[in-house]
């Protein structure tokens, strides 16, 4: 049995499962036929449900990135909880409606005794409600006080969860917001690092996770007034995994990733930049995400010593940003693609600096292997050592080459889909050519 390769395939089988349920309930049968057809449908439904749950478990165990399965894994949902969640999700998406707890349970459990027993799946202490996967406009407290029926309460998928599954990210409800929020999808196993660097990163994560305990244990809070946030600086060439590691750290800390576009943060209008900075840190204080200042060279550089009005305004913006950074009791990761002369005020606030380099041959080999999806058949003649030796790529360039190679393999519709060495080498040559053109390209009129 193969795992699900995409969310589309997973949803299609659940749609088939619910369609089969609906078909059975809508058909008209004589009393003689009822018993016979009931047994057939029950057998078909049980087989399909078993198949879905086995493929779901296999996909989760293989860490295949499917948003809905990530929710199942994160909250450790049982097979029953998964099925009920999917039924409510389909009701939310297809019908745009909520569904009563009683109606949901009766869809799957026929006897009154079963419905009563399974009501606990929707209790406030159960996985579905405790983890805020479901929500209701009605009060559970009123039902617990006996003022209304618990089974009559209408529930739907929590809008925030639904939006994340629909790939709608929260950005302060503003299309021009200088920051975006997302659930991190990659974990630390996807970051290929040299052993010494990996140990360094693991120590950083361990410190962040235990920061509060460490502070309280040694009495740091009593002697230091502020500056308890953890500020990381990732520096190195493009494509070396700085942004990927930031996302992996957010996932390890079980936090969302707030990516900040510093160019959008600054505004030509007087006072607007300050408002954007205030908006970012107000949001960060409320939700405690990991903040990623990607390519933050402008913020990292030394302030100007000139005294023009523009320089003065810029310096004031940097001062405000530095003040907010020091007050923020969370994790901020800054990245830069080039060597910068650090602003001294920022330099003393940085907790850890991590340097990224073009990976060595063993790391490149690991990246080539890691980036090929586990369910894509690979020809036995593919030699990852040769690819890693011949092409001195950063991880970003390897990713581009792998994607191009997969497209080449898929386009051979007349043959069986297998990823071959020729596909990978051809894609790597194309990526190498792109890199050379980028390096030699001259700006200006020809």
The string of DSSP letters for 73-128 reads HHTT--HHHHHHHHHHHHIIIII---EEHHHHHHHH--SHHHHHHHGGGGSTTSHH
pTM of the model: 0.56
- The confidence score (pLDDT) of residue 445 equals 37
**Of residues 243, 250, 256, 253, the one with CA closest to residue 181:** 256
Bridge-based pairing of strands 134-135 and 331-336 is: unpaired
Spell out, as residue ranges, where the chain has pLDDT lower than 70: 23-39, 94-97, 137-149, 163, 166-177, 214-228, 262-264, 266-271, 297-315, 339-345, 412-416, 437-446
Residue showing tokens 């790597």:
428
CATH 1.10.8.60 in the chain is located at 361-440
| Residue 61 falls in which region: left (phi positive, over 0), alpha (psi -120 to 50) or beta | alpha
**Of residues 406, 367, 407, 373, the one with CA closest to residue 387:** 367
- The confidence score (pLDDT) of residue 218 equals 61
User: What is the CATH class of 179-355?
Assistant: alpha beta
- The confidence score (pLDDT) of residue 99 equals 82
CATH 3.40.50.300 in the chain is located at 179-355
- The confidence score (pLDDT) of residue 443 equals 40
As a whole number of Å, the CA-based R_g of the chain is 27
Residues 6+ apart with CB under 8 A from 62: 3, 374, 375
Cβ atoms within 10 Å of 406's Cβ, excluding its own: 19
Residues 6+ apart with CB under 8 A from 207: 214, 230
Cβ atoms within 10 Å of 19's Cβ, excluding its own: 10
- The confidence score (pLDDT) of residue 170 equals 44
- The confidence score (pLDDT) of residue 428 equals 92
- The confidence score (pLDDT) of residue 169 equals 44
Q: Any idea which fold 361-440 has?
A: Helicase, Ruva Protein; domain 3 (1.10.8)
């Amino acid at each position: 049995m193969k795992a699900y390769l995409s969310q589309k395939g997973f949803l299609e089988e659940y749609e088939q499962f619910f369609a089969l349920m609906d078909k059975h309930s809508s058909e008209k049968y004589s009393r003689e036929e009822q018993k016979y057809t009931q047994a057939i449908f029950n057998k078909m439904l049980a087989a399909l449900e078993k198949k879905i749950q086995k493929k779901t478990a296999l996909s989760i165990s293989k860490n295949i990135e499917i948003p809905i399965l990530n929710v199942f894994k994160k909250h450790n949902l049982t097979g029953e909880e998964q099925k009920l969640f999917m039924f409510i999700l389909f009701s939310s998406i297809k019908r745009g409606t909520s569904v009563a707890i009683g109606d949901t349970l009766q869809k799957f459990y026929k006897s009154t005794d079963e419905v009563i027993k399974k009501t606990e799946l929707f209790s406030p202490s159960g996985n579905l409600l405790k983890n805020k996967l479901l929500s209701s406009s009605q009060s559970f407290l009123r039902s617990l006080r006996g003022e209304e029926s618990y089974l009559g309460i209408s529930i739907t998928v929590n809008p925030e969860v639904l939006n994340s599954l629909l790939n709608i990210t929260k950005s302060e409800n503003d299309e021009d917001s200088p920051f975006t929020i997302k659930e991190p999808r990659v974990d630390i196993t996807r970051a290929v690092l040299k052993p010494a660097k990996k140990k360094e990163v693991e120590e950083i994560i361990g410190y962040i996770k235990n920061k509060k305990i460490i502070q309280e244990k040694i009495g740091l809070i009593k002697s230091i007034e502020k500056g308890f946030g953890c500020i990381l600086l990732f520096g190195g060439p493009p494509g070396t995994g700085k942004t990927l590691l930031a996302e992996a750290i957010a996932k390890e800390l079980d936090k969302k990733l707030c990516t900040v576009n510093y160019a959008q943060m600054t505004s030509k209008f007087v006072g607007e930049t300050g408002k954007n900075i205030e908006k970012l840190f107000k949001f960060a204080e409320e939700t405690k995400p990991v903040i990623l200042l990607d390519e933050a060279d402008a913020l990292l550089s030394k302030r100007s010593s000139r005294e023009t009005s523009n320089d003065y305004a810029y310096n004031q913006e940097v001062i405000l940003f530095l003040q907010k950074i020091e007050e923020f009791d969370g994790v901020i990761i800054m990245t830069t693609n080039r060597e910068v002369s650090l602003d001294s005020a920022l330099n003393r606030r940085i907790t850890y600096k991590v340097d990224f380099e073009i990976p060595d041959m063993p790391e490149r080999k690991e990246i080539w292997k890691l980036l090929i999806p586990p369910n894509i058949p690979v020809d036995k003649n593919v030699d990852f050592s040769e690819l890693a030796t011949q092409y001195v790529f950063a991880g970003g360039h390897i990713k581009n080459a792998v994607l191009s190679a997969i497209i080449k393999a898929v386009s051979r519709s007349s043959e069986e889909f297998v990823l071959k060495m020729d596909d990978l080498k051809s894609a790597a040559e194309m990526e190498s050519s792109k890199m050379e053109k980028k390096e030699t390209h001259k700006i200006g009129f020809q």
